């Protein structure tokens, strides 16, 4: 349980990190802080004193306490410290993320940068804590995968504070629209289109799609699914679109698929589109339990061409994700932005631009032509 002192101290520090207190701005008075937190003047002075010692605040006799300009102190130390990059992903050890991270790490280490890895677990509160750590430690640049990119983010102020402190950042896999950052992404809409169009070319019309809806990638893949239906003049069946959120991903898709398979055989879909290969593997387990066969009874398409696509007895048709190449590209762009900031790029006009990878479909044996 936090002490009263640490609650006051951490609250003031958070307001510095999220930009509520700007450099050289006067913070709340001791009396105001006493009233806000219901603590004694001694507790307030102790918290402020520690933050002054650590360089977060400074005092002016007779005027009050102010937010320190930490960009100035950081620039004074720039020549003394190592080059450090933070990489933030929603997950670190799972699925395609190790490949992305290895690609970035290799390039960055070859260029003299130390890399610190952080995971948000696709959770906004964890993302906030990670961003506070990064702002506290003064990294040279940040590569970040957004948390729940399809919904409003409560941590936007932290990204704006990165900009205020002149710390370059780029976003991978997705991005927050309101920030309009430099980003490295896959064309997820086209990927969703390729998944669906491939099945339609094989004669499938009753196609169930599973899409993760709190990440922008899922929304765009769903858009591609819908576009393929319209382009091929195939009626969209609303109940065939199954959305789920991060905290539902271990339960809802599986429950919904069980429900679909409990329908009369005449209503069964002939094919399934999955948000990613991870989900496809889980649905394959249910298909086996039902004594069904892929692709004879049902076709299935994944997304990402992860290592999972080849480990099952059913080799998965899936969309290629750039993985390691995306990581390398992100590393190159963040180094370019840092060099621009430090005036190390020789070109008179040098603009770092976002990169969008083109998806391709890898066809294996989890899909087949529907018998007429």
What mean pLDDT value characterizes the chain?
91
Q: Which residues of 319-334 are buried (b: 16+ CB within 10 A; e: fewer)?
A: bbbbbbebbbbbbbbb
pLDDT tens per residue, range 73-89: 555 444 445 699 999 99
Residues 194 and 305 in one domain: yes
What is the domain count for the chain?
A: 3
pLDDT tens per residue, range 90-132: 998 888 999 999 999 999 999 999 999 999 999 999 999 999 9
Q: Write the CB contacts of 79 (distance below 8 Å, at least 6 apart in sequence).
A: none
Residues 215 and 122 in one domain: no
Q: What does pTM read for this prediction?
A: 0.85
> Where residue 22 falls among pLDDT bands split at 50, 70, 90?
confident
Residues 268 and 144 in one domain: no
Q: Is 213 in a helix, a strand, or coil?
A: coil
Query: Is 363 domain-assigned?
Result: no
Which is more confidently placed, 221 or 348?
Answer: 221
Residues 192 and 313 in one domain: yes
Query: Is 370 domain-assigned?
Result: no
Q: Give the CATH number for residue 94.
A: 3.40.50.2300
End-to-end CA distance of the chain: 66
Tokens of 277: 């290969």
Which residue segment(s) compose the domain that 48 sits in?
4-68
Cα gap 367→38, rounded to integer Å: 65
pLDDT tens per residue, range 154-169: 999 999 999 998 999 9
Query: Is 372 domain-assigned?
Result: no
**Could you tell me if 144 and 331 are in contact, meaning their C-beta atoms sit under 8 angstroms apart?**
no
Tokens of 247: 């905290």
Query: Is 240 domain-assigned?
Result: yes
């Amino acid at each position: 349980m936090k002490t009263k002192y640490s609650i006051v101290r951490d609250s003031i520090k958070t307001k510095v990190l999220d930009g509520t207190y700007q450099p050289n701005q006067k913070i709340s008075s001791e009396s105001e802080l006493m009233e806000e937190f219901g603590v004694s003047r001694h507790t307030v002075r102790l918290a402020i004193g520690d933050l002054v010692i650590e360089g977060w605040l400074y005092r002016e006799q007779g005027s009050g306490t102010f937010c320190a300009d930490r960009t100035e102190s950081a620039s004074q130390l720039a020549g003394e410290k190592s080059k450090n990059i933070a990489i933030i992903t929603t997950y670190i050890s799972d699925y395609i993320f190790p490949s992305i991270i290895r690609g970035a790490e290799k390039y960055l280490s070859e260029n003299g940068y130390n890399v610190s890895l952080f995971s948000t677990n696709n959770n906004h509160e964890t993302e906030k804590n990670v961003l506070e750590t990064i702002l506290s430690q003064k990294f040279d640049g940040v590569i970040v995968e957004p948390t729940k990119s399809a919904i409003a983010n409560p941590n936007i102020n932290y990204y704006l504070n990165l900009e205020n402190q002149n710390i370059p950042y780029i976003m991978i896999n997705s991005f927050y629209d309101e920030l309009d950052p430099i980003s490295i992404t896959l064309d997820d809409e086209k990927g969703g289109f390729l998944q669906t169009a491939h099945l339609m070319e094989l004669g499938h019309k009753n196609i169930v799609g599973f899409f993760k809806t709190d990440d922008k990638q899922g929304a765009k893949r769903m858009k591609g699914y819908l576009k393929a239906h319209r382009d091929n003049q195939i009626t969209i069946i609303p109940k065939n679109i199954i959305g789920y959120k991060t905290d539902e991903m271990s339960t809802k898709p599986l429950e919904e698929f069980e429900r679909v398979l409990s329908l009369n055989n005449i209503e069964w879909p002939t094919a399934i589109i999955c948000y990613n290969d991870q989900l496809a593997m889980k649905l394959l387990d249910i298909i086996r339990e039902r004594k069904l066969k892929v692709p004879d009874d049902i076709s299935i398409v994944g997304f990402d061409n992860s290592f999972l696509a080849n480990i099952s007895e059913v080799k998965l048709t899936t969309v290629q994700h750039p993985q390691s190449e995306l990581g390398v590209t992100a590393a190159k762009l963040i180094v370019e932005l840092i060099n621009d900031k430090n005036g190390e790029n020789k070109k008179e006009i040098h603009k770092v631009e976002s990169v969008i990878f083109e998806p391709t479909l890898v066809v294996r044996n989890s899909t087949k032509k529907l018998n007429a």
